[in-house]
Amino acid sequence: MDPRIDAYMAERLQRFDEPVLVEMEAEGARRGFPIVGRNVGVTLEVVARSVGARRVMELGSGFGYSAYWFARAVGPGGEVHCTDGDPANAEAGASFLARAGLGDRVTYHVGDAVEQLSLLDGPFDVVFCDIDKTGYPDAWRAASERIRVGGLYLCDNTLGYGAGTVFDDGDGPEAIREHNRLIAEDERFISTIVPTREGVLVALRIS
């Protein structure tokens, strides 16, 4: 995305300034950790709210930045299931979200994201994917079976990530292209890619 547009969008979101969220954003910058950022975070909350999501599964959660937005969306009594392979990220995420007053809605599962999905009962209202890019096709295959009709599959970095794009060579871009193709061809879903930051794929299950 043109950085001017990214900055313009972010300026519209200053109403969401809140101490824990700002701290999480600073932590991402300090660590060089690829959080989705506020423009994508608000997008996730908006689309989750639009389908009345009460049960969300995240494939790849880091220290809880995207979970913050989903926890806002599901409301009191809702569920956000987070996954991360690093116990330190899970501990940090649980702490951040508790201090934000959202901890009672979030459960962390430490381990491989797709494997953790297989261990939980479904269906889910939303499954969000943000794992290693080479794992995207398998994540889609697993997640698509666990989403209710009228629910959403969401995925970040579907046009690029870091300095790379979907048009580049390499295992990561190839996996993203396969992932996007599989979804576009799946008649159970209707999908589009919102070109915010590095591309947020939104797929609505219709059958």
What are the tens digits of pLDDT across the range 77-86?
999 999 999 9
Given a cut of 80, is residue 182 above it in pLDDT? yes
Contact (CB, 8 A) for 67 and 40? no
Measured CA to CA, the distance from residue 198 to residue 137 in angstroms comes to 18
Phi-psi region of 22 (alpha: psi -120 to 50; beta: other; left: phi over 0): alpha
Tell me the whole-structure pTM to 2 decimals.
0.95
Would strands 124-129 and 55-59 be described as parallel, antiparallel, or unpaired? parallel
Structure tokens at 176: 């993203």
Would strands 147-155 and 124-129 be described as parallel, antiparallel, or unpaired? parallel
Contact (CB, 8 A) for 142 and 117? yes
Domain boundaries, the chain: 3-205
pLDDT 10s digits, 71-127: 999 999 999 999 999 999 999 999 999 999 999 999 999 999 999 999 999 899 999
Instruction: CATH number for 3-205: choose from 3.40.50.150, 3.40.50.720, 3.20.20.70, 3.30.70.240.
Output: 3.40.50.150
Measured CA to CA, the distance from residue 25 to residue 37 in angstroms comes to 7
Per DSSP, 32 falls in state T
Structure tokens at 115: 């494997």
Measured CA to CA, the distance from residue 187 to residue 161 in angstroms comes to 27
